[in-house]
Structure 1
Amino acid sequence: MTSILTNTSAMSALQTLRTINSDLSTTQDRVSSGQKVGKAADNVAYWSISTTMNSDNKALNAATDALGVGAAKVDTAYAAMDSAIDVVNEIKAKLTTASETSVNKEQVQLEITKLQEQLTAIGQAASFNGENWAIQGDLGSQTTVVDGFIRDSAGSVKVTTATFNSGSYALFSTIADGVGSGGILSAVMTVALTSVSTQGEIDTFLTTVQTALDGLTNGAAALGALSSRIDMQDDYSSKLSDAIEAGVSRLVDADMEEESARLSALQTQQQLAVQSLSIANSSSQNIMSLFRG
């Protein structure tokens, strides 16, 4: 039956066109934004996960940046430690030279004094951004380096740190009037040869210097281990950030090949739906021909 009051064919065609237009709009949004989940209404679960993980990834990247600052501090402290080892080795060599009876011990002391001044200069210069691990007033103090950001199974978040016993490996505890005191090099700064220094005194100085060298070696080893950990953590953080980004991408990013194919199909369907609606609307006009005499 054909009715001039209700055109069911046109209603059906219009509903189809509306559905196609809605799907077409969604697909166009995905193509333009590159995302299939751009807001919570698109997929609550995936949107929630992606929002949380993107936030965590930003925090992880910030921690990685902080790790770079920590690496710079470690490198600065290591450079000071390494230079101090070289200078103390020179002092050891000078003391060995002074063991020869024909050597002028006072002249040797002049050289040792300059080397001691160099040790003080090394300690003063070992500062990065105002922080100096080579000079620690509290020999039991510890310093920390940010090395990561984690979220546990309960949802709690925290920043992780690596600890270095800077007080135990400090070159000096204080520097006053250009002279360092305390710390690993405390006894080295007291080495003082005179023209009447005996071999026993020189041997005592050599023991003092060797003890300092052992301490410096341990400190350099500890800094090297920390530097290695920082490098590994930096590499891991980079990989972890990439993995998080890839995981979020799988949840919310649109498959552009699939969306392109769907867009072409919907555009074709839209044209057909418009044509169908046009045909359905023309049926009412065809009825008029029945009343023409």
Structure 2
Amino acid sequence: MSFSVNTNASALSALLNLNKTTTDLETVQTRINTGLKISSAKDNAAIFSIAQGLRADLKGYNAVKQSLDRSISTVDIALAAGGSISDLLIEMKEKAVAAADSGLDQTSRDALAEDFEALRDQITTIINNAEFNGTNILDSGADVIVAITNPDATQTITVDHQNLTLGGPNITFTAGATINTQTLAAAMVSTVDTALDNVNSVLTSLGAGGKSLEAQRVFSDKIADTIEVGIGNLVDADMAKESANLQSLQVKQQLGVQALSIANQAPQAILNLFGG
């Protein structure tokens, strides 16, 4: 051991160790405060970059779920409307069959015709209200449902437009259709039957589309949860481990301060060489 008043090697070594302990302690405290072992690129550039990419995917899947939710709601509205129209057509067939009876008096047939026309007009009212978020896939327009299914918005599920308006391809009788004569009533039975078959086919198609959307929604939840867990595995701090490290480093810091204090007192021994 050399004695020097210019250089205190022991103090320098003690200071170096104390600074390292203080830096480690700050790192642990940051992890405890943020809950993250990797909170920036300087902690681990490669892992941070991977985590950021996964976070972007997770945000993308949040948008996917919103798109699917809107689409599911639109289909649900269309299914409810289509189901109501199917019920109306069943009632209209009953009126038409009754009015087609050649033995029925005209007064009774006129009453049946009035009921038939009220049911007919109700179809139009339902169609006009079968809208969600500005989209109506049952009217005479061209709206379709397009839901994104991946975070890059490059894959979609489409539910086609179905025209259920009066005089349209599925319900061929017009807004002026009536059954106030035996001949008209007899012809209307077949027309309503065809419309009922068409509407039920539309409901089948919409139901299949809705089922696909709901299945994709469940899958998107699972994917998002898996990504979130994956991000946590990469960047989350082990709080139990960090708590133990914190206590260890706090003790080590206190000992380091004492060691530095002792090392700083060493040059005082030089005075003894001079009888101090």
**Partner residue, 2:41:** 40
Q: How does 1:82-101 map to 2 (within 5 A)?
A: 82-101=83-102
Residue identity in the other structure for 1:171: L
Aligned partners of 1:147 and 1:233 also within 8 Å: no
Matches of residues 117-132 of structure 1 in structure 2 within 5 Å?
117-132=121-136
Q: Residue type matched to 1:268 in 2? A: V
Q: Give the structure with the larger strand fraction.
A: 1
Aligned counterpart, 1:170? 163
Number of the residue aligned with 1:257: 240
Map of 2:200 onto structure 1: 217
Which of 221, 224, 227 matches 1:238? 221
1: CA distance, partners of 2:140 / 2:78? 12
For residues 279 and 232 of structure 1, what CA distance do their matches in structure 2 show? 70
Are 1:206 and 2:189 counterparts? yes
Of 231, 249, 266, the match for 1:266 = 249
Please give the secondary structure, in 2, of the residue aligned with 1:146. strand
Give the distance between the partners of 1:194 and 1:43, measured in 2 at CA. 82
1:27: Cα distance to partner? Answer: 0.9
For structure 1, which segment, 246-255 or 236-245, has the greater mean C-alpha deviation from structure 2 after superposition? 236-245
Aligned positions of 1:69-148 closer than 5 A: 69-104=70-105, 105-137=109-141, 141=142, 143-148=144-149
Partner of 2:156: 161
Indicate if the aligned counterparts of 1:142 and 1:164 stay in contact, CA closer than 8 A. Answer: no
Amino acid at match of 1:226: G
Paired position in structure 2 for 1:289: 272
What TM-score do you get using the length of structure 2 for normalisation? 0.92
Give the deviation of 1:183 after TM superposition. 3.5
The letter for the 2-side match of 1:42 is D
> Offset of 1:231 from its aligned partner?
1.7
- The SS at the match of 1:163 is strand
Alpha-carbon separation, structure 2, partners of 1:103 and 1:125? 36
2:194 partner amino acid: T
Residue 12 (structure 2) pairs with residue 11 (structure 1): yes
1:192 aligned partner: 178
Q: 2: CA distance between counterparts of 1:189 and 1:205? A: 13
Q: Unmatched 5+ residue regions in structure 1?
A: 151-156, 173-179
The AA in structure 2 aligned to 1:46 is I
Name the aligned partner's letter for residue 54 of structure 1. R
Does the 8 Å CA contact 1:147/1:230 hold for their aligned counterparts?
Answer: no
Q: Structure 1 CA distance, aligned partners of 2:7 and 2:160?
A: 87
- Whether the aligned pair in 2 keeps the contact of 1:80 and 1:123 (CA below 8 Å) is yes
The equivalent of 2:230 in structure 1 is 247
| Separation of aligned partners in 2, 1:271 and 1:219 | 77
TM-score by length of 1: 0.87
RMSD over equivalenced CA pairs, Å: 1.8
Q: Is the 8 A contact 1:142 1:163 kept in 2?
A: no
Q: Secondary structure at the match of 1:237?
A: helix
1:275 corresponding residue in structure 2: 258
Unaligned runs of 5+ in 2: none
Distance 1:74 1:95 in 2: 31
Where 1:149 maps in the other structure, the secondary structure is: coil
User: How many Å separate the matches in 1 of 2:245 and 2:253?
Assistant: 12
Write the deviation string for residues 198-239 of structure 1: whole angstroms up to 9, x where unpaired.
4xx544322211111111011111111122122222222122
- 1:31 and 1:159 map into 2 onto residues whose CA distance is 39
Query: Cα–Cα, structure 1 residues 67 and 143, in superposed 2: closer, same or farther, change >3 Å?
Result: same
2: distance between equivalents of 1:65 and 1:5? 70
Deviation at 1:131, TM superposition (A): 2.1
**Aligned in 2, Cα 1:230/1:148: closer, same or farther, shift over 3 Å?**
same
Residue 106 of structure 1: how far off its partner (Å) = 2.6
Residue 49 of structure 1 pairs with residue 35 of structure 2: no
User: 1:26 offset after TM fit, Å?
Assistant: 0.9
